[in-house]
C-alpha cells in the first residue's frame, strides 16, 4: 500500500482525536476570554490577583467548588465523556494489539505520531491565529525604481519555537491535511489583495491537488482572477498532466496565470514547464545566486531567456541578493526578479512601499533589458 494510503488509514483510525482538538480549542478560547476580562478589571481587583498563587495545579484545585456551583451536572457529565472518549482513543493507539507483534507496535507508534500531527495542524487550520501571510515584491529589473509588478504571498506560522512553513506543510501532508492547510494560506492571502495597489498581481503557492479542488475554485471566484498567479513548485508531484491542464482550463480562460517555481532545481521543474505551458517560469535560487561568478549558470539562464521568449512565457529570477548577480541577470535580459536585495518578505504594511534597490536599470554593458508584462 502506498504511503498516502497508509496516511488515510491512520487518519481514519485517529478520527476521535478531533473531539480532543475541539475540546482543547474550546478551552483555549475560554482562557482567552478570562484574560480579556482580567485586563478590563479595576486596579484594586488587579492588585488582588497579584496576591494569588501562580501554581496552576493549586489554582485549579481552589476553583473546584466554584465549578461545582456554576456547572449543571449534565454539563459536567458531558465534558467528562468527551475527555473519556479522547483518552480512550489515545490509549488504544498506544497499546499494540499483540504485545509480541513488532509490526503492531510499529503501526501503533505511527498512528500516535500521525494523531499528534493531526491535532497540531487541525488547531492551525481551525483557529488560524498562528498563521500570518507575508509578502515579497516581484520587481521589473529594467525600470529605474524597480517597480513591483507583483507580490508573492508566503505563509509564516508565528509559533514558539518558530518553525518554517515547509515543516508545517510536511506535517500536514503526513496527517492527510495538506489541502486544508494550503487553503487556509490561500484564504489569508486573498484577504490582502484589496489592500494592494491596483496593478500588481498576487502569487500564491499550492499543490496540484489543491489547485484542482472545488474549494480552491470557490475561493478564487470571490476575487479578480486576472490578478492571481498560482505557483507550482518543482517538488510538487503531478501524476496526470493532461487532467491537471483540463481541470484548470476554465480558471486560466478567466485570466488566472500559472507559474512553475524552482525552475532549474531538478528535472521535474523542466517537465512541469513542458507539460503545463506556464505563463511564468521562476528561476530557482540555486541557479541565480552567485551567477556573476559562474559562466555555466549564466549560459543556462541565457538559454532559458531565449526559451521563454520562444514559448511566450515570462521569466522571473528568484533569490537576488547582490548587485553583481543583478547586473549579470540584467545583462542576460531577465525581465523580472525578487530577492533580499530588493526586499525581505514581511507583513503588508511594511512591504507595500517603494522597494529597496539600485536606482539604475543599466546592465554591465550599459544597455537596458527588455521587459515583458508579467
Domain parsing of the chain, residue ranges: 3-126, 131-351
Q: Predicted confidence band at 10 (pLDDT cuts at 50, 70, 90)? A: very low
Q: Which helix (H) or strand (E) holds 26?
A: helix 17-39
**Model confidence at 127: pLDDT above 70:** no
CATH of 131-351, one of 1.10.3210.10, 3.30.460.20, 3.20.20.450, 3.90.730.10: 3.20.20.450
Question: What's the predicted TM-score (pTM) here?
Answer: 0.64
CA distances 254 to 194, 205, 223, Å, are 19, 19, 11
Q: What pLDDT, in 10s, does the model give residues 48-84?
A: 878 777 777 777 776 776 777 777 888 778 777 777 7
Range of weakest confidence among 18-32, 184-198, 300-314: 18-32
Helix 17-39 crosses helix 102-127 at what angle (to 10 degrees)? 40
- Mean pLDDT computed over 349-362: 60
Set of cell numbers at residue 204: 500564491
Q: What pLDDT, in 10s, does the model give residues 177-234?
A: 788 889 989 999 999 999 999 999 999 999 888 998 999 999 999 999 999 999 987 6
Q: What pLDDT, in 10s, does the model give residues 232-271?
A: 876 667 778 888 888 889 999 999 999 988 786 666 677 8
**Model confidence at 17: pLDDT above 50:** no
Range of weakest confidence among 18-22, 91-95, 345-349, 355-359: 355-359
The predicted pLDDT at position 113 comes to: 61
The residue that leads in pLDDT, 312 or 59, is 312
Residue 262: name the closest of 317, 310, 189 by CA: 317
The predicted pLDDT at position 201 comes to: 96
User: Rounded distance, CA 51 to CA 45, Å?
Assistant: 10
User: Rounded distance, CA 121 to CA 141, Å?
Assistant: 39
Mean pLDDT score across all residues of the chain: 78
- Mean pLDDT computed over 275-286: 91
Q: Do 220 and 255 touch, CB atoms closer than 8 A? A: no
Set of cell numbers at residue 78: 458531558
The predicted pLDDT at position 373 comes to: 37
Range of weakest confidence among 88-92, 199-203, 343-347, 362-366: 362-366
DSSP string, 128-194: -TTEEEEEEEEEETTSTT--EEEEEEEEEE--SS---HHHHHHHHHHTT-HHHHHHHHHHHHHTTGG
What's the start-to-end Cα distance of the chain, in Å?
Answer: 43
Q: 3-state class of 362 per DSSP? A: strand
**Model confidence at 369: pLDDT above 90:** no
**Model confidence at 12: pLDDT above 50:** no
Set of cell numbers at residue 8: 488515510
User: Rounded distance, CA 236 to CA 244, Å?
Assistant: 12
The residue that leads in pLDDT, 65 or 286, is 286
Set of cell numbers at residue 352: 507595500
Q: Do 301 and 291 touch, CB atoms closer than 8 A? A: yes
Amino acid at each position: 500500500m502506498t504511503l498516502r494510503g497508509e496516511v488515510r488509514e491512520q487518519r481514519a483510525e485517529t478520527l476521535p482525536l478531533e473531539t480532543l482538538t475541539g475540546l482543547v480549542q474550546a478551552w483555549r478560547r475560554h482562557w482567552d476570554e478570562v484574560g480579556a476580562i482580567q485586563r478590563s478589571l479595576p486596579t484594586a481587583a488587579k492588585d488582588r490577583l497579584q496576591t494569588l498563587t501562580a501554581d496552576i495545579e493549586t489554582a485549579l484545585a481552589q476553583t473546584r467548588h466554584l465549578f461545582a456551583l456554576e456547572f449543571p451536572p449534565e454539563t459536567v457529565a458531558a465534558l467528562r465523556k468527551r475527555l473519556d472518549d479522547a483518552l480512550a482513543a489515545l490509549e488504544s493507539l498506544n497499546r499494540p494489539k499483540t504485545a509480541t507483534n513488532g509490526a503492531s507496535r510499529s503501526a501503533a507508534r505511527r498512528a500516535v505520531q500521525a494523531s499528534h500531527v493531526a491535532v497540531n495542524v487541525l488547531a492551525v487550520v481551525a483557529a488560524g491565529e498562528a498563521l500570518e501571510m507575508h509578502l515579497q515584491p516581484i520587481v521589473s529589473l529594467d525600470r529605474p525604481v524597480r517597480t513591483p509588478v507583483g507580490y508573492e504571498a508566503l505563509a509564516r506560522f508565528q509559533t514558539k519555537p518558530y518553525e518554517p512553513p515547509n515543516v508545517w506543510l510536511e506535517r500536514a501532508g503526513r496527517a492527510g491535511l495538506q489541502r486544508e492547510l494550503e487553503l487556509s494560506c490561500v484564504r489569508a492571502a486573498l484577504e490582502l489583495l484589496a489592500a494592494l495597489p491596483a496593478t500588481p498581481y498576487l502569487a500564491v503557492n499550492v499543490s496540484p491537488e489543491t489547485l484542482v479542488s472545488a474549494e480552491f475554485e470557490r475561493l478564487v471566484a470571490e476575487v479578480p482572477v486576472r490578478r492571481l498567479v498560482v505557483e507550482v513548485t518543482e517538488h510538487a508531484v503531478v501524476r496526470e498532466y493532461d487532467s491537471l491542464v483540463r481541470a484548470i482550463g476554465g480558471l486560466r480562460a478567466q485570466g488566472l496565470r500559472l507559474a512553475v517555481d524552482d525552475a532549474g532545481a531538478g528535472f521535474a521543474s523542466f517537465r512541469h514547464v513542458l507539460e503545463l505551458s506556464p505563463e511564468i517560469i521562476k528561476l530557482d535560487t540555486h541557479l541565480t545566486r552567485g551567477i556573476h561568478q559562474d559562466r555555466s549558470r549564466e549560459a543556462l539562464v541565457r538559454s532559458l531567456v531565449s526559451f521563454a521568449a520562444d514559448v511566450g512565457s515570462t521569466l522571473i529570477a528568484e533569490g537576488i541578493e547582490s548587485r553583481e548577480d543583478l547586473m549579470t541577470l540584467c545583462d542576460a535580459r531577465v525581465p523580472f526578479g525578487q530577492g533580499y536585495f530588493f526586499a525581505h518578505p514581511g507583513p503588508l504594511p511594511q512591504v507595500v512601499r517603494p522597494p529597496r534597490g539600485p536606482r539604475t536599470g543599466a546592465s554591465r554593458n550599459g544597455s537596458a533589458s527588455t521587459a515583458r508584462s508579467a
